[in-house]
Structure 1
C-alpha cells in the first residue's frame, strides 16, 4: 500500500509494521536502511570531531613511515574488493515487484553500481604512496573552522532524517 508521510506516521504511531508498505513508491524497508546509512554518516562526523584534525594529520605522517605502510597494503585492497562485492550483493538480493521500476529500484540501482566503481577507483587511487597525503589533506581540511561548521550544519539534518526513516521502518 502506497502511503503519504502523514499516513505512514499515523500507522506507525498506532503500532502497525510498515515493512509491507511503500512511501511515495519507495519500500519503507529500504527507506529504513537508507536512514541507517544517513545516521551512520552523520555519526562519522562526531567520530572525526573526537579524533580531531591534529591526530588525523599526525596519523597521516605516521603512516608515511614503512612501519605504517603494511596497514594500507592490507586495508586498501580489502576495501577495494569488499565494498563493491557487498553493494552488488545488496543490489541482486532486492527483488522488485514484477514490471515495476519504483523509486527504491532506481535508488538501489543508482547507488550500488557507482559505489562499486567508485570504491574500486578509490582503492586503486589511494595507493600506499598517496594515502598519507590524503589523510593529511583531510586533517588540514578539518582544521578549517568554516569547514567544521558546515560539516555540523549538514550532519545534524542528515542524522534527524536518517533516524526518522529508520524509526519508521522499525
Structure 2
C-alpha cells in the first residue's frame, strides 16, 4: 500500500478501516510502528519503576549481583556449556545445507562462523556479566542522584511512554 500521512492514519483508525494494518506511515509498516510503540512504552514504564526504586536500592542490587557471581569457574562452565549446545545445534541444522550443494555449504560455513563469533561473545559476557551489570546499575543510580539529569530522565520516560502507547494504539 502507498505511504499515508499521520492524520490519514488516525482517520483510518477512527473509522475502523482494516487496510490500516497494511499501510505504511513515513515509509514504515504499521506493524513496525506498533512494535516500536510497545518497546517505547516498556522503556518509559521501566524508567518510572527505576525512579521509584531509587539509587540506593539499585546500587545495593548491583552489589548483590556481584557477590552472587564471584565464582568465575561456574560462570565460565555455564557459558561454555551454552556455547557448546548452540554450536552443536547450529551444526546439526546446517548439515542439511552442507549436503544440498556448494551454495548450501557456503551458507552453512557462514552460519557456523557466525555461531563461533556469537559463542566467543557469549563466553566474554559469561565471565564479565557481574561487572557489566554492576556498572550499568551504578550508572543508572548516578543519573537518579543528580536533580538536573533526573528531570531529563523523567521527561524522556514520559515522552517515551506516551509516544509508545500512542503508536501501539494506532497500529492496533
Query: Normalising by structure 1, what TM-score?
Result: 0.63
Cα pair distance change 1:125/1:153, threshold 3 Å: farther
- What is the distance in 2 between the residues matched to 1:132 and 1:45? 17
Query: Within 5 Å, which residues of 2 pair with 1:10-159?
Result: 10-17=11-18, 18-65=20-67, 68-69=68-69, 73=75, 123=125, 126-159=128-161
SS at match of 1:33: helix
What is the CA RMSD across the aligned residues, in angstroms? Answer: 3.2
For residues 1-25 of structure 1, what are the alpha-carbon distances to aligned partners after superposition, in whole Å with 9 as ceiling and x for unaligned?
Answer: 3210111100100112311111122
Return 5+ residue gaps in structure 1 as ranges. 82-116
- CA-CA distance at 1:61 after TM superposition: 2.2
Q: 1:32–1:167: 8 Å Cα contact kept in structure 2? A: yes
Segments of structure 2 that go 5 or more residues without pairing to the other structure are: 84-117
Highest CA radius of gyration, 1 or 2? 2
Q: Does 1:166 align with 2:164?
A: no
Structure with the larger helix share: 2
Q: d(CA) in 1 for partners of 2:53 and 2:16?
A: 40
